[in-house]
């Protein structure tokens, strides 16, 4: 029986706490009286995931069984989450492979010939063949890719997009034409965090810049408190309006959502899954071996080691059917795995940031992604109210190197060099620079033909942290490259002790400190 | 001053607010000894017992073994029950056991003494083939384990007093051996060990040389309808008769047994000095033969 998460009150006998630090770790001793939020242990996996998938398809929620929706001569499109999920990438077979194979089996039995697969990557980079093969498996790839039936969403293809009108609030709804014109669109999700899935799958994953800008903007993000809680998230409200508009426009969606447990690391990194005082001699030996090796290894090698790590994630639930009904069940299952109740806010929130976020799989975690991971994702891992009080301080631990992947993140480089050199204010950035980056033909070319994120993507990363920037009194990065940390508008600190001392200038003497203990993933249910 | 490496070089400290889970016991009666009955450990033990233990025992305390002929017709697993005065008893008895039992015997040993640490437990299991048993409280698990071993063809050496004698006189026998015999139908061979209490008494640090005697009795089996405690009493009486036989002679011991006047193993019901006096000077002493 997995143990639930809990909040530890640090006392003199609490051992040092593990912090992610990019492609490495730090052991930090937090002040006595601090709180550490420990995540629940990984839930038990489904005993037979393939049978669970089959049952979900045959007994969907608020929908006819999938076989009843499949007819000869129909046009079937299967869209699936891109390389940004799950994190780290899971060991094969991936959930997408299991689910899509089950769907294709039923489609074959029903005699459906016109089937196309689309990677729903919105404005993310295109996946490589290796990444597609990993997510879908060789059987699917070899059956569909050679015939041009495995495609990747292209939001900048004028002929490939279809405008379906606007919502009641005037939001453009424009999605992939093939998906919109299909008799049935099956969307296959991996719901790693509560933000994923629901109407966001199609309304974001298969949309264009014209459509996305209605919810991927500063105002929406500042009114999403948090975007992990769909009932208090303007991001989700907008997506839900678009999703309902799609339904009204005749787009028939059969949603399949899967959840994972937090078994995120292989055996050699098993210590990442454990509470520090429960580390056995083997865990300590592995920790020392890993950290000492990484300290001596060249940066590229460290990155390769971490990026090649495949998570032993296991499926904890699968549900299919009508989008909203399915997503309600999925969200409960995500919360069941990740939610920890926390009493009250804190003056200072500390967090260790990992080597990976949704946008640097097989790539470099550049400074903008460090900001997005810390102030976008980790800060928003709450329900109720933010973990840190208004005017409080976030202390993040990450090396924050001034380093970018020119292949994956070309527009990020210019955003960092030009835009952030001018201002870090999200509203000013949005008003002054977004349009030019979003419509830049070179970025569009790289997005469509290479493996580059769209020109506007770094703006979205910055907006992702807009709520935190609006809420916080200061951000300090421990162990980060001072130049890139200052460029982000944050303060660099050499040690955690220095950072805590610096934070008292903002929050006053004797502050309360709370640490968000990731890994593995957790979400705080913050009570008043 | 004891230096202790800090975490992560040393073990972590435990936060005061987190309750510690019950520690999984791997010592005492929970010590796993199955490995000691597999062939590599048995081979090592056989070599140790035959090539080291027996020569050392013979050199230190040359044993006089009596009554082996009483076991001639006996086959299969046996429960050997002996009195207990010294740590020397186990090596002595193992050395004296006939070959057909010596290499397929386990010794029931006090879990709280021989298995209180992993090192002691490992050595006890490997060298003596020891099996941990609780002596302070009733616990059926070791009995069930012993029963399974008997069923599997292993013989068991039991010292039913539960510990070494403090003053040289025996303590009351407990019923474990009788229970095993009753429930499995295995024969019980009473054994009397004499002299080990003088060589290495309880509390002594060094052994002294003296002659020791090991006397095997005739196998006992529970009678029809006999209760466990009665059978246990009969086993104790059989050891007492062997003690008497050793102190006097076979015929005298048989006659006293027939008249139910065999001196008790527990000694006189008297004060401490009189018990010691009786042990050293009294009835248990072999009479001086005048003739022939």
Strand-strand pairing, B155-158 and B105-110: parallel
Total CB pairs under 8 A between chain A and B: 45
Q: Of how many residues is chain A composed?
A: 528
Give the residue from A287, A451, A297 showing the smallest Cα distance to A361. Answer: A451
Rounded CA separation B133/B256 (Å): 35
DSSP summary character for residue A162 = E
Q: What is the pLDDT of residues B177-222, one digit of tens each?
A: 898 899 888 999 999 998 888 888 888 878 887 789 999 999 999 9
CB nearest to B12's CB, from A12, A279, A288: A279
Helices within chain B (DSSP H only): 39-48, 54-60, 89-96, 99-102, 111-114, 118-123, 140-151, 176-184, 196-199, 228-247, 250-258, 272-281
Give the residue from B236, B247, B253, B233 showing the smallest Cα distance to B279. Answer: B247
Amino acid B288: pLDDT: 44
Average pLDDT value for chain A: 96
Q: Residue A524: pLDDT above 80?
A: yes
- CB distance from A281 to chain B under 8 Å? yes
Amino acid B20: pLDDT: 86
| Residue A481 contacts residue A403 (beta carbons within 8 Å) | no
Give this prediction's pTM: 0.75
Q: Residue B285: pLDDT above 90?
A: no
| Residue A252 contacts residue A184 (beta carbons within 8 Å) | yes
Rounded CA separation A519/A266 (Å): 13
Under an 8 A CB cutoff, do A277 and B14 touch? yes
Rounded CA separation B252/B257 (Å): 8
Amino acid B202: pLDDT: 82
Q: Residue B143: pLDDT above 90?
A: no
- CB distance from A11 to chain B under 8 Å? yes
The percentage of chain A sitting over the pLDDT mark of 70, rounded to a whole number, equals: 100
Chain centroid to CA A130: how far? 21
Averaged pLDDT, A489-507: 97
Q: How far does A15 lie from chain B, in Å, by closest CA?
A: 5
Rounded CA separation A468/A378 (Å): 10
- CB distance from A9 to chain B under 8 Å? yes
Under an 8 A CB cutoff, do A277 and B8 touch? no
Under an 8 A CB cutoff, do B13 and A9 touch? no
Q: Residue B286: pLDDT above 50?
A: no
Which listed CATH number (3.40.50.11440, 3.30.360.10, 3.30.420.340, 3.40.605.10) goes with A53-67+82-260? 3.40.50.11440
- CB distance from A279 to chain B under 8 Å? yes
Per-residue b/e over A165-200, b at no fewer than 16 CB within 10 Å? ebbeeebbbbbbbbbbebbbbbbbbbbbbbbbbbbb
Amino acid B291: pLDDT: 54
Cis peptide before A226 (omega within 30 of 0): yes
Residue B287: how many CB atoms within 10 A of its CB? Answer: 10
Contacts 24+ apart (CB under 8 A), B110-116: B110/B135, B110/B162, B110/B163, B111/B28, B111/B29, B111/B31, B111/B135, B111/B142, B112/B28, B112/B136, B115/B27, B115/B28, B115/B29, B115/B31, B116/B27, B116/B28
B9: nearest CA partner in chain A: A284
Amino acid B3: pLDDT: 53
Under an 8 A CB cutoff, do B12 and A277 touch? yes
Mapped onto helix, strand or coil, the DSSP state of residue B209 is coil
Averaged pLDDT, A130-146: 95
Residue A83 to residues A88, A127, A283, Cα–Cα distance (Å): 10, 7, 30
Amino acid B36: pLDDT: 92
pLDDT level of residue B284 (50, 70, 90 thresholds): very low
- Tokens representing A337 are 């795995």
Helices within A169-253 (DSSP H only): 177-181, 200-205, 209-212, 218-222, 234-248
* Chain B CB contacts of A11 below 8 Å: 15-17
pLDDT level of residue A303 (50, 70, 90 thresholds): very high
Mutate to test the interface with A, among B4, B5, B6, B7 (most CBs of A within 10 A): B7
- Tokens representing A256 are 């399949």
Cα end-to-end span (Å), chain B? 70
Q: Of how many residues is chain B composed?
A: 292
- CB distance from A289 to chain B under 8 Å? no
- Tokens representing A281 are 């001699």
Determine which of A198-212, A478-492, B130-144 has the lowest per-residue pLDDT on average: B130-144
Amino acid B287: pLDDT: 43
Under an 8 A CB cutoff, do B15 and A10 touch? yes
Average pLDDT value for chain B: 85
Superfamily for domain range A6-43+339-527: LarA, C-terminal domain (3.90.226.30)
Under an 8 A CB cutoff, do B15 and A14 touch? yes
* Chain B CB contacts of A278 below 8 Å: 12
Sequence-distant (≥ 6) Cβ neighbours of residue B221 within 8 angstroms: B181, B185, B187, B188
Phi/psi of residue A259, nearest 5 degrees: -115, 155
Phi/psi of residue B250, nearest 5 degrees: -60, -45
Under an 8 A CB cutoff, do A8 and B17 touch? yes
Q: What is the pLDDT of residues A420-453, one digit of tens each?
A: 999 999 999 999 999 999 999 999 999 999 999 9
Determine which of A358-372, A469-483, B25-39 has the lowest per-residue pLDDT on average: B25-39
Q: Which helix (H) or strand (E) holds A507?
A: helix A496-507
- CB distance from A7 to chain B under 8 Å? no
E-strand ranges in A177-303 read 184-191, 253-260
Ranges of each domain in chain A? 6-43+339-527, 53-67+82-260
Full set of structural domains in chain B with CATH: 28-281 (3.40.1130.10)
Q: Considering only residues A316 and B56, tell me which one the structure prediction assigns the higher pLDDT.
A: A316
Amino acid B174: pLDDT: 87
Rounded CA separation B134/B282 (Å): 35
Averaged pLDDT, A200-226: 97
DSSP summary character for residue A190 = E
* Chain A CB contacts of B19 below 8 Å: none
Amino acid B136: pLDDT: 67
pLDDT level of residue B283 (50, 70, 90 thresholds): very low
pLDDT level of residue B282 (50, 70, 90 thresholds): very low
- CB distance from A131 to chain B under 8 Å? no
Q: How far does B129 lie from chain A, in Å, by closest CA?
A: 30
Q: Is the dihedral of CA B244, B247, B250, B253 positive or negative?
A: negative
A10: nearest CA partner in chain B: B15
| Residue A457 contacts residue A123 (beta carbons within 8 Å) | yes
Averaged pLDDT, A106-119: 96
- CB distance from B21 to chain A under 8 Å? no
Q: Residue A25: pLDDT above 70?
A: yes
* Chain B CB contacts of A13 below 8 Å: 13-16
- CB distance from B11 to chain A under 8 Å? yes
B6: nearest CA partner in chain A: A15
Residue B271 to residues A342, B40, B62, B121, B267, Cα–Cα distance (Å): 69, 51, 33, 37, 11
Rounded CA separation A357/A457 (Å): 14
Q: Residue A297: pLDDT above 50?
A: yes
Q: Residue A138: pLDDT above 90?
A: yes
Mapped onto helix, strand or coil, the DSSP state of residue B155 is strand
Chain centroid to CA A370: how far? 13
Q: What is the pLDDT of residues B100-128, one digit of tens each?
A: 898 999 999 988 889 888 899 999 999 98
- CB distance from B14 to chain A under 8 Å? yes
Q: Considering only residues A485 and B98, tell me which one the structure prediction assigns the higher pLDDT.
A: A485
Averaged pLDDT, A185-191: 97
């Amino acid at each position: 029986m997995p143990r639930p998460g809990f909040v530890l009150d640090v006392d003199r006998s609490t051992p040092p706490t593990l912090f992610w630090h990019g492609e490495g770790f730090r052991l930090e001793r937090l002040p006595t009286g601090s709180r550490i939020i420990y995540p629940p242990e990984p839930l038990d996996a489904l005993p037979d995931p393939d049978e669970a998938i089959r049952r979900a398809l045959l007994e969907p929620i608020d929908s006819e069984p999938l076989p009843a929706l499949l007819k000869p001569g129909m046009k079937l499109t299967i869209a699936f989450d891109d390389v940004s999920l799950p994190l780290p990438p899971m060991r094969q077979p991936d959930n997408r492979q299991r689910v899509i194979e089950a769907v294709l089996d039923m489609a074959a039995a029903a005699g459906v010939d016109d089937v196309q697969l689309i990677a729903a990557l919105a404005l993310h980079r295109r996946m490589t063949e290796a990444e597609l093969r990993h997510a879908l498996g060789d059987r699917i790839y070899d059956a569909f890719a050679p015939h041009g039936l495995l495609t990747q969403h292209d939001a900048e293809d004028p002929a490939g997009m279809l405008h379906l009108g606007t919502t009641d609030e005037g939001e453009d709804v424009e999605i992939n034409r093939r998906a919109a014109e299909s008799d049935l669109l099956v969307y296959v999700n991996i719901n790693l965090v509560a933000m994923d899935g629901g109407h966001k799958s199609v309304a974001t994953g298969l949309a264009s810049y014209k459509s996305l800008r209605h919810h991927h903007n500063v105002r929406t993000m500042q009114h999403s408190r948090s975007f992990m809680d769909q009932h208090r998230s303007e991001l989700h409200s907008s997506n839900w309006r678009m999703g309902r508009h799609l339904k009204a426009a005749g787009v028939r969606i059969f949603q399949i959502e899967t959840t994972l447990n937090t078994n995120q690391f292989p055996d050699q990194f098993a210590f990442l899954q454990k509470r520090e005082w429960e580390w056995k001699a083997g865990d300590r030996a592995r920790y020392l071996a890993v950290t000492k090796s990484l300290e001596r290894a060249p940066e590229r090698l460290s990155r390769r080691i971490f990026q090649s790590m495949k998570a032993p994630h296991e499926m904890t639930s699968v549900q299919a059917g009508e989008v909203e009904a399915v997503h309600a069940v999925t969200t409960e299952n995500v919360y069941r795995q990740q939610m920890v109740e926390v009493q009250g806010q804190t003056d200072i929130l500390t967090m260790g940031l990992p080597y990976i976020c949704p946008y640097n799989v097989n790539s470099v975690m550049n400074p903008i992604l460090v900001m997005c991971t810390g102030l976008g994702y980790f800060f928003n891992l709450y329900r109720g109210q933010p973990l840190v009080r208004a005017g409080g301080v976030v202390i993040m631990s990450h090396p924050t190197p001034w380093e970018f992947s020119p292949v994956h993140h070309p527009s990020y480089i210019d955003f960092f060099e030009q835009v952030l050199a001018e201002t870090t204010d999200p509203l000013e950035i949005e008003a002054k620079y977004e349009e030019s980056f979003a419509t830049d033909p070179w970025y569009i070319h790289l997005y469509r033909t290479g493996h580059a994120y769209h020109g506007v993507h770094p703006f979205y990363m910055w907006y992702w942290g807009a709520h935190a920037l609006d809420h916080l009194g200061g951000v300090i990065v421990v162990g980060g490259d001072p130049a890139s940390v200052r460029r982000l508008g944050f303060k660099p600190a050499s040690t955690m002790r220095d950072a805590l001392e610096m934070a008292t200038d903002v929050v006053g003497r004797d502050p309360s400190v709370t640490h968000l203990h990731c890994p593995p993933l957790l979400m705080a249910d913050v009570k008043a | 001053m004891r230096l202790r490496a800090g975490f992560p070089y040393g073990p972590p400290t435990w936060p005061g607010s987190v309750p510690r889970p019950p520690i999984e016991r791997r010592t005492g009666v929970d010590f796993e000894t199955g490995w000691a009955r597999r062939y590599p450990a048995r081979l090592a033990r056989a070599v140790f017992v035959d090539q080291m233990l027996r020569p050392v025992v013979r050199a230190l305390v040359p044993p006089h073994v009596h009554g082996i002929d009483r076991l001639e017709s006996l086959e299969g697993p046996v429960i050997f029950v002996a009195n207990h005065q010294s740590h020397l008893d186990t090596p002595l008895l193992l050395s004296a056991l006939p070959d057909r039992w010596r290499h397929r015997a386990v010794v029931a040993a006090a879990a709280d003494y021989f298995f209180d640490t992993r090192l002691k437990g490992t050595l006890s299991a490997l060298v003596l083939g020891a099996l941990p048993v609780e002596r302070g409280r009733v616990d059926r698990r070791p009995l069930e384990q012993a029963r399974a071993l008997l069923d599997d063809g292993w013989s068991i050496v039991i010292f039913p007093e539960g510990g070494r004698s403090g003053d040289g006189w025996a303590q009351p026998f407990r019923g474990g051996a009788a229970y095993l015999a009753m429930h499995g139908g295995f024969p019980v061979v009473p054994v009397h060990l004499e002299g080990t209490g003088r060589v290495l008494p309880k509390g002594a640090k060094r052994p002294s040389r003296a002659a020791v005697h090991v006397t095997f009795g005739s196998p006992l089996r529970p009678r029809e309808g006999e209760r466990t405690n009665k059978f246990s009493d009969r086993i104790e009486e059989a050891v007492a008769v062997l003690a008497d036989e050793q102190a006097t002679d076979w015929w005298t011991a048989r006659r006293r047994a027939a008249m139910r006047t065999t001196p008790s193993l527990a000694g006189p019901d008297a004060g401490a000095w009189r018990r010691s006096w009786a042990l050293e000077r009294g009835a248990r002493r072999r009479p001086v033969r005048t003739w022939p």
